[in-house]
Amino acid sequence: MAILLDEKTKVIVQGITGREGSFHTKLMLDYGTKIVAGVTPGKGGQEVHGVPVYDTMEEAVKEHPDAIASIIFVPARFAADAVYEAVDAGMKLVVVITEHIPVHESLKFINYAKQKGTTVIGPNCPGLISPGKAKLGIMPGHVFKEGPIGIISRSGTLTYEIGYALSKQGMGQSTVIGIGGDPVIGTSFTEAMELFEKDPETEALVLVGEIGGDMEERAAQMIKEGRFTKPVVAFIAGRTAPPGKRMGHAGAIIMMGTGTYQGKVKALEEAGVKVAKTPFEIPELLRQALKK
């Protein structure tokens, strides 16, 4: 078991003929991901690394009705359109790698996907990987190993660093999700935690947060209320970073008291979560948490 993605998940790559799309299609195929089709408007009929390309999602799904997930490498201006297309084609999971999508666009397609029952990961994210099974993203596969630890992260490269540190200590991962760095994202900490809570293979969870926003505080609240019961270790990047840019009075009022490093650590510790000072403390803290 893993969450959202395994070796049987059939995947469509949107934007498969582009530089990034084609490059990562190869890497995902090499890792074992079942990529059944690609979509690039105007490039229907071609093949990319042996994967058939279609002009539209509708055609791709017609030929490959068992596809349930898509990954989007489409440039920012056209990415929202690609998400609507994926949702309307019945995808259950849509991973949006693209960065620089206007936030008003993300706001709308995320609300739309939710109404239709589609899970969106991202935008501006590295995707997800269920080690040993499949990866739907751009992370280097070799740093992750199969095992019982779930990871949810707001950061890309930092996730690789932490996965690497855990794997080296023999602590493999069930599923690793990079939820993305944009202000509005499809899957939050708490939403991903609900999935990990239900996954029997996941024994403990690592939360990789950052300063800003209030997702860590909400995760702490969820743990405090007993809605997430597995051991959790957290790391928050940005202890020494200056406070982020102010956004008018409205920004300050809405974020009142949340978003700082100290606030996040306090909230998590009050919920019984150990917070690592460096990413390299995480394996030891996990070991202690699992012993209890």
- Among residues 180, 166, 173, the alpha carbon closest in space to that of 94 is found at 180
Residue 288 within binding range of another protein, rule CB under 8 A: no
Question: Peptide bond preceding 123: is omega within 30 degrees of 0, i.e. cis?
Answer: yes
Residue 251 within binding range of another protein, rule CB under 8 A: yes
From 6-14, 35-43, 47-55, 247-255, span contacting another protein (CB under 8 A): 247-255
Q: Quick one: DSSP state of residue 77? A: H
Residues 292 and 286: their CA atoms lie apart, in Å, by 10
Residue 228 CB, shortest distance to another protein, in Å, is 17
From 38-46, 85-93, 241-249, 266-274, span contacting another protein (CB under 8 A): 241-249
Q: Is 49 an annotated catalytic residue?
A: no
CB count within 10 Å of CB 255 equals 16
Residues 15 and 107: their CA atoms lie apart, in Å, by 21
Q: Give yes or no for a contact between 257 and 243, defined as CB atoms under 8 angstroms apart.
A: no
Under DSSP, is residue 38 helix (H, G, I), strand (E, B) or coil? strand
Exactly one of 21, 180, 279, 283 binds another protein (CB under 8 A); that residue is 279
Please report which residue ranges of the chain form alpha helices under DSSP H. 19-31, 57-63, 76-88, 103-116, 157-168, 189-198, 215-224, 248-254, 261-270, 282-291
Exactly one of 31, 54, 144, 160 binds another protein (CB under 8 A); that residue is 160
Residue 138 within binding range of another protein, rule CB under 8 A: yes
Residue 256 within binding range of another protein, rule CB under 8 A: yes
The C-alpha R_g of the chain, in whole angstroms, comes to 19
Q: Which of residues 161-190 bind another protein (CB under 8 A)?
A: 161, 164, 181, 183-184, 188
Count of residues in contact with another protein, rule CB under 8 A: 62
Residues 200 and 61: their CA atoms lie apart, in Å, by 31
Residue 62 CB, shortest distance to another protein, in Å, is 28
Residue 6 CB, shortest distance to another protein, in Å, is 22
Residue 195 CB, shortest distance to another protein, in Å, is 18
160 vs 228, beta carbon nearer another protein? 160
Which residues are catalytic, by number? 249
